[in-house]
Amino acid sequence: MEEIELIKKITEGDENAFKVIYEQYSKRIFNTVLHFVQNHSDAEDVTQEVFIEIFRSISGFKYGSTFFTWIYRIAVTKSLEFIRHKKRKKRFAFNIISEPDEIISEDFNHPGVDIENKERALALFNAIRKLSKNQRIAFTSNKIDGLEYKEIAEIMKISLSSVESLIFRAKEKLKKLLYYYYKNII
């Protein structure tokens, strides 16, 4: 069944059509969310929120972009909302640690990282957290999720040249941050 038919059936309340969409995209969305929230349990919660939002707002899908681009935008938005909420909660609890300086814990597990590369992955994800929000979204969307620049521009609602610039600046900053990490190891 094509996506257009599935979307129509979902708007008509067909739960089986929604299950098909869930099965088709849930793993990819979970991995996207995990790149941002970097905690397995939180990623599961946010992924669930993403699919609840998809179900609630699917009638508003305008076919102006691909269905995946629309879903991905929801996933990024929900992930960033979660991070902001978590950050506010920390401030309220007088535990003021700014988001970019927060270090990912050693129990961090990502499905794409094997045990031998765990330490390097931790260093990379900690460096990615130090990027600006837009650099982080553009970089992870392209380098981790494999999206094309054009798709990223649609998701972020910015020009193609802005995406190119964000990714370039992200790479430059990561080179500097990881240089110091590897310099200290050797």
Residues belonging to the chain: 186
Structure tokens at 90: 């920390």
Say what the pTM is: 0.71
CATH number of 104-186: 1.10.10.10
Of 96-105, 116-125, 157-166, the one with minimum mean pLDDT is: 96-105
List, by residue range, all CATH 1.10.10.10 domains of the chain: 104-186
What is the C-alpha separation between 48 and 109, in angstroms, rounded?
19
CA dihedral 160, 165, 167, 170 (to 10 degrees): -160
What are 38-88's pLDDT values in tens digits?
889 999 999 999 999 999 999 888 888 889 999 999 999 999 999 888 877
Task: Given CATH 1.10.1740.10, say whether it is the number of domain 1-96.
Answer: yes
Structure tokens at 110: 């990502």
